[in-house]
Chains A and B, each alone.
Chain A
Amino acid sequence: MTKKESQAGTFHSIHGSLSLWGQLILLSLLLAAVIIASAGLGYIKIPFMDVVRVVLSKISGHATLLGDMDKLFPVVVVDVRLPRILTAAIVGAGLAISGVVFQGILLNPLADPYTLGVSAGAAFGASLGILFNISFMGTWSVPLFAFLGALFTLLFVIYLSASSGGLSSNNLILSGIIVAAILSAGISFLKYVADEQVSVIIFWLMGSFGSKTWADVFLVFICVSFGFVVFIYFSRDLNLLSLGNRSASSLGVDTKRMPLILLITASLVSAVCVSVSGIIGFVGLLIPHMMRSFTGPDNRKLIPVSLLTGAILLLFADTVTRAILPHEIPIGVITALIGGPFFCYIFRKRQTAKVW
């Protein structure tokens, strides 16, 4: 009986990992579909098959694939829409996986780049960079400032909320919100003194994917991919961390180095996302939460699934505001309008039941 049961157990675990791959394939197909649909939608409607043909001809280099298509279509798809679409998808993915990691390290399901003040820190750093017109590192200058702003903010928030008993949920969120409030005042001050640069800062702060270029795509792609690789590498250790520091350490996790590496990487990922798109709140909170109820808390499944879902949902939201609504609303406003109430809901649920 024992043997039979354990065989059933083995089968179950194989089945589990198969269904993870199934989920990932399904989500990838969905993402591809949303990308193609989004590329066809907008002021100029382009048939979906033409979008596919444009993309295929670009990848393969065969101009013949385009056939007798309107000469405008390839330009619209490749130069205007795809950079925006891919940036939105990659930023969504980046915010979602850094949310997973912040929640896992801080053992706090309410943590995300926005609630921890990391986004505000990145925005403040980036505003400084824009204000002083710093460009010694070319396109990477503003992202670098965003990263430094994010990192210092995170360390300060952790310092503020740390007590002898570790990091409590409420302290952490409270500190994050306070620091974010101070930083937004700081950003307002920067706007006030900015004079000529003010329109650049305001335009960027609105949080929009409009007028993104392939350089932006490249930037976020590099950083989010790097983050994803690091997160996946440590995903099993991240699971062990939820048993507490001592247990994790006794199971082979370096409990001093590993959280530090992950926090810095997650700050980098969210800072680069912010530097490209402005502050987009609650994606890193909402996505991991929703996905955890499908995959369970195992980070080896949660991270890749959140990556794809974050990409799909943020791209979907951006497509709605770009192509479907009569006037474009900043994407940050939409995610806050949806995410804010959701945050309230989780927070309230936590007050009534001590179960996550």
Chain B
Amino acid sequence: MERVFEIERISFLYNGKKVIDDFSMVLEAGMSYGVLGPNGSGKTTLVDLIINHRQPVEGRIQYKGEPLSSYTRKALSREIALVPQNFYINFPFTAREVVMMGRYPHMPRFSAPSYGDTRVVQDIMEKTETLAFENRYVTQLSGGERQRVIFARALAQEAPVLVLDEATSNLDINHAISLMKMAAQRVRQEQKTVISVMQDMNLAAAFCNYLIFLRQGKVVAHGPVNEILTRETLWAVFGVESKVYFEPYLGSLQVIFKK
């Protein structure tokens, strides 16, 4: 498999405290990674380092064989798309305008959207079921609707890497599943890499094929879902009693927690 990210012994300090501590990992194309861990375990910081929004104080990150820092921001915006956790939009753009912003990295600074750009946006808005409110202001949409618009914007970027930072946290189960399915489909068919920070263990088990568990900035455990998602791991990471079992109805592992 093609190596997309090679992360070598990175650390990051936040207010003098190590939030990422000696983290190493290789991320490959055609894989869907789930990043899990308790609040404050450094998941969002890890995402910031991967998208080059922040730079590690130690260690290095290579993207497709080149140092991540050697890419221009513009070049990187064609490689990595982000669905952020915080998605407040301050001005009344319409939903369609926001999705079109995902095409900006592919459009010259002063040109209008090409036929191709418009087609991509149309197609993705259809699939994400955001066409129904394409002309409404994002400031007037519900939290879940807005999150779908942001998701659509990231898909419109057509980048080989898709980073989801708790992208489904505000969604109802129907839309959460359909968006995760769309991401998973791009992993299978287009060999994309999806990195999702998640809270929902069962959604992660169903849609990711590799899990990374963080605790206090360190990787506590990582591996393919079927090997790593165990009672012992969950106890070590979250300190909760659980039962992990194979669910034939879903075709994947599932977790239930003890009260």
Write the residues of chain A forming the contact surface with B, with a CB cutoff of 8 angstroms.
2, 5-6, 9-10, 13-14, 17, 104, 107-109, 233, 236, 239-240, 242-247, 249-254, 292, 296-298, 355-356
Distance (Å) between the CB of B63 and the closest chain A CB?
14
Distance (Å) between the CB of A154 and the closest chain B CB?
19
- A14 and B48 CA atoms in complex are apart in Å by 37
* Contact (Cβ within 8 A) A17 B53: no
Write the residues of chain B forming the contact surface with A, with a CB cutoff of 8 angstroms.
48, 51, 53, 73-74, 76-77, 80-82, 84, 86-94, 97-98, 101-102, 104-105, 109, 112-113, 115, 118-119, 121-123, 126, 137, 139-140, 150, 153, 157, 163
Of chain B, the residue at the smallest CB distance from A299 is: B91
Distance (Å) between the CB of A43 and the closest chain B CB?
45
- A239 and B137 CA atoms in complex are apart in Å by 14
- Which of B76, B88, B94 sits near A252, CB closer than 8 Å? B76
* Contact (Cβ within 8 A) A236 B82: no
* Contact (Cβ within 8 A) B82 A2: no
- Which of A10, A244, A251, A252 sits near B87, CB closer than 8 Å? A244
Of chain A, the residue at the smallest CB distance from B83 is: A247
Q: Which residues of B contact A356 (CB under 8 A)?
A: 90-92, 139
- Which of A251, A254, A355 sits near B157, CB closer than 8 Å? A251
* Contact (Cβ within 8 A) A2 B126: yes
- A251 and B87 CA atoms in complex are apart in Å by 14
Q: Which residues of A contact B80 (CB under 8 A)?
A: 250
* Contact (Cβ within 8 A) A9 B121: yes
Of chain B, the residue at the smallest CB distance from A104 is: B91
* Contact (Cβ within 8 A) A244 B53: no
CB-CB under 8 A for A239 and B74, given A246-B48, A247-B84, A298-B93: no
Q: Which residues of A contact B112 (CB under 8 A)?
A: 13-14, 17
Give 6 pairs: A residue, B residue, CB < 8 Å, sorted on A: A13-B113, A250-B51, A250-B81, A252-B74, A297-B93, A355-B92
CB-CB under 8 A for A252 and B97, given A9-B121, A17-B112, A244-B84: no
- A244 and B89 CA atoms in complex are apart in Å by 7
Q: Which residues of A contact B113 (CB under 8 A)?
A: 10, 13
Given contact pairs A244-B86, A356-B139, a sample of 10 additional A-B residue pairs in the complex whose CB atoms are under 8 Å apart: A5-B122, A6-B119, A246-B48, A250-B51, A250-B76, A250-B81, A251-B101, A251-B102, A254-B73, A296-B92
CB-CB under 8 A for A251 and B90, given A2-B122, A246-B48: no
CB-CB under 8 A for A251 and B105, given A5-B122, A10-B118, A246-B53: yes
* Contact (Cβ within 8 A) A297 B92: yes
* Contact (Cβ within 8 A) B73 A253: yes
- A250 and B104 CA atoms in complex are apart in Å by 11
Q: Which residues of B contact A107 (CB under 8 A)?
A: 90-91
CB-CB under 8 A for A251 and B122, given A14-B112, A242-B91: no
Of chain A, the residue at the smallest CB distance from B94 is: A296
Q: Which residues of A contact B77 (CB under 8 A)?
A: 250-252
Distance (Å) between the CB of B32 and the closest chain A CB?
19
- A178 and B171 CA atoms in complex are apart in Å by 42
Of chain A, the residue at the smallest CB distance from B90 is: A107
* Contact (Cβ within 8 A) A246 B122: no
- Which of A2, A104, A243, A251 sits near B89, CB closer than 8 Å? A243
Distance (Å) between the CB of A106 and the closest chain B CB?
10
Distance (Å) between the CB of B132 and the closest chain A CB?
13
Distance (Å) between the CB of A22 and the closest chain B CB?
15
- A236 and B139 CA atoms in complex are apart in Å by 19
Of chain A, the residue at the smallest CB distance from B91 is: A297
- Which of A109, A243, A252 sits near B98, CB closer than 8 Å? A243
- A292 and B105 CA atoms in complex are apart in Å by 25
Among B84, B140, B153: residue with most chain A CB under 10 A:
B84
* Contact (Cβ within 8 A) A246 B118: no
- Which of B73, B84, B90, B92 sits near A246, CB closer than 8 Å? B84
- A253 and B105 CA atoms in complex are apart in Å by 9
* Contact (Cβ within 8 A) B115 A10: yes
- Which of B93, B104, B150 sits near A236, CB closer than 8 Å? B104
- A13 and B134 CA atoms in complex are apart in Å by 14
Kindly list the 4 A-B residue pairs having the minimum CB-CB distance in the complex, ordered from nearest. Answer: A252-B77, A297-B91, A250-B82, A6-B122
Distance (Å) between the CB of B88 and the closest chain A CB?
7
- A252 and B87 CA atoms in complex are apart in Å by 17
Distance (Å) between the CB of B80 and the closest chain A CB?
7
Of chain A, the residue at the smallest CB distance from B157 is: A251
- A92 and B53 CA atoms in complex are apart in Å by 38
Q: Which residues of B contact A298 (CB under 8 A)?
A: 93, 97
- A13 and B113 CA atoms in complex are apart in Å by 8
Q: Which residues of B contact A13 (CB under 8 A)?
A: 112-113, 118
Distance (Å) between the CB of A36 and the closest chain B CB?
32
Distance (Å) between the CB of B162 and the closest chain A CB?
11
- Which of A6, A245, A247, A252 sits near B105, CB closer than 8 Å? A252
